[in-house]
Amino acid sequence: MPLFADLVLPLALQKLYTYRVPQEMQGAIGAGQRVVVPFGKSKMYTALVYSVHERKPEQYEAREILELLDDMPIVNENQLKLWEWISEYYLCTLGEIMIAALPSELKLQSETAITVNPDFLAENELLTPEEELVLDTLHEKKSLTVLDAAKITGSKNGIRLVRKMIERGMVLVHEELKESFKPRQLSYVRLTPKANDEHFMEEFFTALEKKAPKQLDLLMGFMKLKIDKGRDFFVRSALLKLTGSGPSALQQLVSKGVMEVFEGDESLAFIPPGNPDKQVALSETQQLAYEQIQQHFSEGKVTLLHGVTSSGKTEVYIRLISDIISTGKQVLYLLPEIALTTQIITRLKHHFGERLLVFHSKFSSRERAEVYIKLVNDGRDGEYRYPIIIGARSSVFLPFSNPGLIIVDEEHDGSYKQHDPGPRYHARDTAVVSGHIFNCRVLLGSATPCLESYHNAETGKYALVGIGERYGGVRMPEVKIIDLKEAYRKRTVKSHFTQELLDAIQHSLSEGEQVIIFQNRRGFAPVIECRKCAWIPHCVNCDVTLTFHKRSNHLRCHYCGYTTLPPAKCNACGDPDIRMKGVGTERIEDEISIFFPNHQVLRLDMDTGSSRSAYQRIISGFENGEIDILVGTQMVTKGLHFDNVGLVAVLNADSLINFPDFRSVERSYQLLAQVAGRAGRKFKRGKVFIQTYHTAHPVLHYMMNNDYTGFYRYELAERQRFVYPPFCRLIQLRLKHKDDKLLEELTKDFTRELKSAFGKRVLGPVSPPVARIRNYYIRHILLKIEKSLSDQKIKQMLTHVTDRFLSHPENRSLFIQVDVDPV
């Protein structure tokens, strides 16, 4: 009896394709395994087996599978169930999910580009004639596609050939050309074993007091820091700075055998004090939260942990992780962005050693594939060598075999939502569904929970656990609102800083504390304008103004990446008087350096922290005291822990609050509360200064009083009044076309068909604030669906209307993107 297999191809296809299973593969092929198949006239793809059956397709002749790549499934049954749910809920195809879920090296196709691996030594390997020909060609052409490799060798199956060459390390997928990450090495200082002799040290202190007071100051400073921070070693540059000592004093102490300098990975700067074998000691409040979470878990409930900033949520997570892995199960620890992984990884390694894996998009394709395959194979012998997985949103697709706990840290963060390309899933909600499919526990954590999550907790869908105080009894930061309108009237504003703020920064620095300055715009100036005719340079591909970046001396579009040199004179009237308007982080960095020239200032935004190595260097530099003032965008708000931040400054809160979006008030509260939470986290109460023109705004009032519950009630009433989530469901339709007039006509026709099916539930169409991106014009249509209606039926109706509209040849040039639960 012939066998057939339904396959998922890495393409946005609405249906599965059925292929014939060759006789030699029968009995070996099954769901979740990869196969190589022909598709179209000359293309080949790595596809995934969805199911194997005996039903011959009626509409077309089934082509034969060329090769079976796996002995065992790389996508398990529960993962496929999750894919099905994502496909149905977010109205996307299984092919789109496959593209997002599998690293590119696991889904090679005929268009995949390969390059020579510079570390491969051909003389140490026995090569086939085909491999020699591919390598010789690559040395000449630098890059080849899999299809080209097949053509030059005459091979019928280029994917098989390239796959073996990748496995042997001969070639790299083109994506591998990214610079490999090498942790920076730092110089650390510690006491030698000689310093443990109390009698010797007593005599040594006496001698230093008489002959070498500077060495004594350094040694005493080290001892004080050791007690205060609970550490046995410090970064050399930070130690000298914090103690006010010079390198010669340190060199003398080293030569006398009391101190020693050693080299180490910069991640050592993050290692917390304590014994890694010792169980985490929880405060009374943390212990109560831990017990409540365990109780809710035993009842099978998703639990929301609402803990104020610096309340020690991570310690509670660590205790829960210990419990789970001790039972032989796995843990997924989700973080909203790669930015957070540096500190969290180090803290977890301190407790769990090397028993964890990290997975995120800053890893190369090969690194992601290695992590994926490690997880596929882990646990097959009954023991998990890597029971803890830390990652960003795409980690929900990893091949877990026995997860016991999923932690979604900073669950409110918008980075958990995938926007482009599809599937446009939300990792937090996907994690909750994963918990149901895998029958594992799910914990959501945040100091400023998403309104919908908190509403789910209040209505009993989730359980709610709170930690209302900071760890160690440290008080919440003191918040000071500065009236910019009044400051300008009194002429006490210098550049973009009020005198009150500058004085506060000076005071914190003089106390040896660090400062964070938050400005949610990168670049030097968001706009440059001709003073005479008001001409402003715009992007040639998008309807946005170009941002001036001083370091590179370029105007740049933050949507498509287009760059150009700044004009010497106005392109409209020819006048040379072109002025800069607005302020970005680059400008703040320059100007604050002028006010405080003797202090180290550094900037953290997408320009300076785009790679994981650059990001880690900035964070470790701030952590170990090399940087005094950190200027940053919202990257500095995301759950980072710094011991010595005395002041956080928000330069303009109005740009956050007055954004045209129903979530802008919620987002501004979360951002302000999160960035404020970086202040005064360990030793004493911190301060937060917020500059604004609207001092009476309710968001500022609730934030000043750290009143999340009050803010929740206020915002929930507004949402209920205007019928927005959680009181309805939203589906946003994004229509795109390169011809604006044709887009307008097609949008009207499509809206008419939508309204015939959904009536008043259809809002729009409207042009978004940025109505053209990458030369595509855009219109938005919003569906507001009552919670009482069947979600599944609504989506079936929407799919039917969309498919019917696009079935007409004159409408097929229109791109329609569906975004369920937009954020």
pLDDT tens digits, 191-236? 999 888 888 888 898 888 888 989 999 999 998 888 877 778 888 9
Which pLDDT belongs to residue 144? 87
Max Cα–Cα distance, the chain, nearest Å? 98
CA-to-CA distance for 202 and 194, rounded, in angstroms? Answer: 12
pLDDT band, very low/low/confident/very high, at 731 (cuts 50, 70, 90): very high
pLDDT of residue 605: 86
Contacts of residues 363-371 at CB distance under 8 Å and 24 or more positions apart, as own/partner, are 364/175, 364/176, 364/178, 364/180, 365/103, 365/104, 365/105, 365/173, 365/175, 365/176, 366/105, 366/172, 366/173, 366/176, 368/103, 368/104, 368/105, 369/103, 369/104, 369/105, 369/106, 371/398
State mean pLDDT over 557-586: 92
Among 531, 557, 583, the domain-final residue is 583
Report yes or no on 413 lying in a domain. Answer: yes
For residues 636 and 708, state if they share a domain: yes
275 within a domain of the structure (yes/no): no
The pLDDT of residue 185 is 72
User: With bands split at pLDDT 50, 70 and 90, how would you rate the model's confidence at 796?
Assistant: very high
- Judge whether 98 lies within some domain: yes
Angstrom distance (rounded) from CA 688 to CA 690: 7
Identify the CA nearest to 508 among candidates 648, 617, 630. 648
Q: What is the mean pLDDT of residues 568-584?
A: 91
For residue 6, give the amino acid letter: D
- pLDDT at position 123, please? 62
Burial of 532 (0-12, 13-18, 19+ CB in 10 A): middle
Report the distance separating Cα 585 and Cα 636, nearest Å.
12
3-state class (DSSP) for residue 671: helix
On the question of pLDDT at 273 being above 60, the answer is no
278 in any annotated domain: no
Is the CB of residue 29 less than 8 Å from the CB of residue 52? Answer: yes
> How confident is the model at residue 184, as a pLDDT?
60
CATH number of the CATH domain containing 702: 3.40.50.300
Average of pLDDT values for 516-542? Answer: 92
More confident residue, 624 or 798: 798
Q: Which two tokens stand for residue 714?
A: 């206020």
- Give dist(CA 723, CA 717) in Å, integer: 10
Determine which of 7-11, 67-71, 416-420, 775-779 has the lowest per-residue pLDDT on average. Answer: 67-71
Residue 180 pLDDT level (bands cut at 50, 70, 90) = very low
Clarify whether residues 345 and 426 are in a common domain.
Answer: yes
Q: What is the CA radius of gyration of the chain?
A: 29
553/591 same-domain check: no
Say how far residue 59 (Cα) sits from the centre of its chain. Answer: 44
Residues 354 and 456 in one domain: yes
Q: Which of 269, 300, 319 is the last residue of a domain?
A: 269
For 678, residues 6+ apart whose C-beta sits below 8 A from its C-beta are 309, 516, 636, 637, 640, 642, 645, 648, 686
pLDDT in tens, 110-157: 778 888 888 787 666 678 888 888 888 888 887 888 878 878 887 766
Q: How many residues does the chain have?
A: 823
> Strand pairing partners for 515?
629, 647
680: pLDDT strictly greater than 60:
yes
Task: Please classify residue 292 by burial: count the beta carbons closer than 10 Å to its beta carbon, then call 0-12 exposed, 13-18 middle and 19+ buried.
Answer: middle
For residues 684-697, give the mean pLDDT. Answer: 91
Q: Please check whether residues 710 and 605 belong to one and the same domain.
A: yes
What's CA 806's distance to the chain center, in Å?
Answer: 35
272/191: higher pLDDT: 191
Helix ranges (DSSP H) in 522-659: 585-595, 612-623, 654-657
Q: What is the pLDDT at residue 172?
A: 84
Dihedral, CA atoms, 128, 131, 137, 139, nearest 10 degrees?
-100
| Same-domain status, 337 and 459 | yes
Confidence of residue 280 (pLDDT cuts 50, 70, 90): low
Q: Which amino acid is at 578?
A: I
Examine residue 108 and state whether it is found in any structural domain, yes or no.
no
The mean pLDDT value of the chain amounts to 89
260 three-class SS: strand
Domain interval for residue 530: 523-583
Q: Which residues pair with 444 in a beta bridge?
A: 304, 408
Is the distance from CB of 551 to CB of 603 less than 8 angstroms? no
Residue 637 has pLDDT above 60, yes or no: yes
Return the pLDDT at 16.
95
- Mind listing the pLDDT tens digit for each residue in 444-490? 999 999 999 999 999 999 999 999 888 877 888 889 999 999 999 99
Instruction: Give yes or no: residues 417 and 395 share one domain.
Output: yes
| Residue 277 counted as domain residue | no
- Is 274 a residue whose pLDDT tops 50? no
Q: Is residue 217 part of a domain?
A: yes
Give the residue from 128, 151, 177 where a domain finishes. 177
DSSP-based three-state secondary structure for 534: coil
Instruction: Name residue, tokens 């370091």.
Output: 551
Task: Map tokens 């196709």 to a residue.
Answer: 109
Give the pLDDT band (50/70/90) at residue 178: very low
In this structure, the answer to whether residues 530 and 656 fall within a common structural domain is: no
Q: Which residues of 500-524 are buried (b: 16+ CB within 10 A; e: fewer)?
A: bbbebbeebbeeebbbbbbbbbbbb
Closest CA to 181 of 616, 633, 716, 645: 616
Q: pLDDT tens digits for 372-398?
A: 999 999 988 888 999 999 999 999 999
Higher pLDDT, 253 or 338: 253
Confidence of residue 597 (pLDDT cuts 50, 70, 90): very high
Helix (H, G, I), strand (E, B) or coil at 397: helix
When pLDDT is averaged across residues 617-631 and rounded to a whole number, the result is 86
786, 647: one domain: no
Chain centroid offset of residue 375 CA: 21
What are the pLDDT digits (tens) for 708-720? 999 999 999 999 9
- 532 and 500 fall within a common domain: no
| Residue in 440, 411, 405 with CA at minimum distance from that of residue 428 | 411
Are 174 and 108 in contact by the 8 Å Cβ rule? The answer is: no
Residue 608, pLDDT score: 81
Tell me: do 642 and 732 sit in the same domain.
no
Higher pLDDT among residues 140 and 639, named by residue: 140
Which of the four pLDDT bands, split at 50, 70 and 90, describes residue 611? low
Paired with 445 in beta bridges are 305, 409
pLDDT at 778: 97
Closest listed residue to residue 816, CA positions, set 544, 285, 801, 81 = 801
What separation in angstroms does the CA of 100 have from each of 11, 92, 317, 424? 11, 12, 28, 10
Let me know whether 800 and 652 are in one domain.
no
How many percent of the chain have pLDDT more than 90? 59
Is the residue at 279 inside a domain?
A: no
What number is the average pLDDT over the span 748-769? 95
Q: Give the pLDDT mean for 78-84.
A: 97
CATH number of the domain where residue 739 is located: 3.30.70.600
Which residues of 474-546 form beta strands (DSSP E)? 478-483, 493-494, 497-498, 514-518, 527-530
User: In b/e form, how buried is each residue of 318-354, taking b as 16+ CB within 10 angstroms?
Assistant: bbbbebbbeeebbbbbbbbbbbbbbbbbbbbbbbbee
Instruction: Enter the pTM of the model.
Output: 0.83
- Domain total in the chain: 7
CA geometry: angle at 648 spanning 644 and 654, to 5°? 165
